[in-house]
Amino acid sequence: MTRHIAIQELTGAKAHCAHARADCGECDVRLRSVCGALDECEIGELENLARPAAFAAKETLFLEGADAECVFNIVSGVVRLYRVLEDGRRQIIGFPMSGDFIGLDLASKRSFCADAVTTVTACRFPRKEFSEFLTRKPNLLQALHARSSLELKRSRDHLLALGLCSADEKIAWFLTTLRGRASDTSGADIRLPMSRQDIADYLGLTIETVSRTLQRFARENIVEIQPQGVRIVDFNKMGSLAAT
């Protein structure tokens, strides 16, 4: 049960360029994220607060308990959010990706850790300034609240999977959910940028169970395992397993 995690320290040489200027006009996630609530004029004001940021795979964004100096809007890539108990057990609570917002609660302390699964590009805002900006823009606050509600809903779906589902159902639910979040929501291919260990820690399983279950799904012609992910073969079977 107990597994120790060496929490990677923040590296000195970060890949993000803190002084570049953001260009919201060119941003392709703008309409799918909270910024979509602002008009052209307001977006200009927000642009003054925004700083593009980039992280290499495995790089740490922040650790639990740290001061939250900024909030993030993810532009591309996948992040993992997690908490670790003293004895090393880790629970991944989410995989925010393109369009998602990190730091919804605007709290001064981080309540979880975050690091990059893949290369990540993001839009970073100083928390206090962003928070102050919010008080003057009720529509942005409303958009943030809507995001928060979405996040709460996702968290509850996740809860349902952990509380009610068998290993098979958890895996099927995970794959189905990931497919639903991808840009192309109709394809059979699902990219899995995270490791088996990440999937296990997300679903409350062990790496062995994840591996075994996926291999068995492949043997039973439910999925096909591919280099960077899986392809769903039997949609019916997947659907009936994942039904939450």
Question: Site residues (CB under 8 A) for its own copies?
Answer: 1, 83, 85-86, 89, 91, 93, 104-107, 111-112, 135, 138, 141-142, 144-146, 148-149, 151-153, 155-156, 158-160, 162-164, 166, 201, 203-204, 243-244
Smallest separation (angstroms) from DNA to the CB of 201: 11
> How far is the C-alpha of 77 from the C-alpha of 97, rounded, in Å?
6
Q: Which of 162, 186, 181, 192 is nearest to 235 (CA)?
A: 186
Residue 108 contact partner, candidates DNA, its own copies, none, CB within 5 to 8 A by sort of partner: none
204 is an interface residue for DNA by CB under 7 A = yes
Specify the length of the chain in residues.
Answer: 244
Cβ-defined contacts of 127-136 (< 8 Å, 24+) = 127/68, 127/69, 127/70, 127/71, 127/103, 129/49, 130/49, 130/70, 130/71, 130/106, 131/106, 133/45, 133/46, 133/49, 134/106
111 is an interface residue for DNA by CB under 7 A = no
Residue 135 contact partner, candidates DNA, its own copies, none, CB within 5 to 8 A by sort of partner: its own copies
- The structure tokens listed for 6 are 């060496």
x-marked contacts with DNA along 164-193 as a string, rule CB under 7 A: --xxx-------------------------
Q: Which of 44, 23, 20 is nearest to 137 (CA)?
A: 44
Pick the closer one to its own copies by CB: 54 or 175.
175
229 is an interface residue for DNA by CB under 7 A = no
- The structure tokens listed for 142 are 């409303």
Residue 189 contact partner, candidates its own copies, DNA, none, CB within 5 to 8 A by sort of partner: none
First to last CA, the chain: 27
Residue 224 contact partner, candidates DNA, its own copies, none, CB within 5 to 8 A by sort of partner: none
- The structure tokens listed for 118 are 């893949």
**Contacting positions for DNA (CB under 7 A):** 1-2, 166-168, 195-197, 204-212, 214-215, 225
